[in-house]
């Protein structure tokens, strides 16, 4: 929610979409109940979270309609590693942003969505990019902490590194990274800095037009 808060304060609006059109899932145990600003923006978009659009509808929109969008925001969470890396509608949205010079913003495990663009006969489109990503070493410890029921079947950081990505962080910290039109944050701890960096960068880009 924190990146959305900064972007909203910078004048940007949001259209919420999921691959299936089913409601957005939040880990409410981690929700900052004492942060009135975050609670307010959650309340503002609660209806959209509960009744999001289908990503396929966005993908089928005309070029003129899509020209109104300034960025694609892929939130974090382990859900980004389950089904999302194989989803063709996610692939189309990520490719659209990349090919049309639109900002892509992502946090934590969100870059798992980028794997949807993999093709056997093509180089990964983020080969050579720098990213801040949730580290596999921390994921390996989460079952001991009771956060996950078991170990992850694969590691996102190592997968990205194997595809030519330079991961800039080794801890689940506040690290953020800007590389061309890609803005990433390492963990939930980076949400505030990611929002500020995204808002500032996007405003500068719009003012430069």
Options 4, 108, 156, 194, the catalytic residue: 108
Question: How far apart, in Å, do the first and last CA atoms of the chain sit?
Answer: 28
Please give the Cα distance from 156 to 109 (Å, whole number). 7
How is residue 176 written in tokens?
């953020």
The full DSSP string for 41-109 is HHHHHHHHHHSPEEHHHHHTS-HHHHTT--EEEE--SGGGGTTGGG-HHHHHHHHHHHHTT-EEEEETT
Is 177 a known active-site residue?
A: no
User: Contact 192/173 with Cβ under 8 angstroms?
Assistant: no
The residues annotated as belonging to the active site are 108
């Amino acid at each position: 929610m924190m990146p959305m808060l900064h972007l909203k304060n910078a004048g940007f609006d949001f259209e919420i979409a999921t691959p299936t059109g089913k409601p957005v899932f939040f880990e409410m145990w981690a929700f900052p109940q004492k942060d009135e600003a975050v609670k307010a923006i959650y309340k503002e978009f609660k209806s959209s979270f509960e009744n999001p659009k289908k990503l396929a509808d966005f993908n089928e929109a005309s070029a003129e309609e899509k020209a109104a969008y300034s960025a694609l925001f892929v939130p974090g969470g382990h859900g980004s590693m389950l089904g999302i890396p194989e989803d063709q509608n996610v692939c189309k949205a990520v490719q659209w942003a990349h090919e049309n010079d639109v900002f892509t913003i992502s946090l934590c495990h969100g870059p798992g969505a980028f794997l949807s663009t993999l093709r056997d006969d093509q180089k990964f489109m983020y080969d050579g990019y720098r990213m801040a990503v949730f580290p596999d070493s921390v994921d390996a410890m989460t079952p001991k902490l009771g956060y996950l029921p078991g170990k992850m079947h694969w590691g996102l950081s190592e997968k990205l590194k194997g595809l030519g990505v330079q991961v800039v962080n080794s801890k689940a910290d506040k690290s953020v990274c800007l590389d061309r039109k890609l803005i990433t944050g390492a963990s939930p701890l980076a949400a505030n800095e990611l929002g500020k960096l995204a808002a500032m960068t996007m405003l500068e880009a719009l003012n430069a037009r």
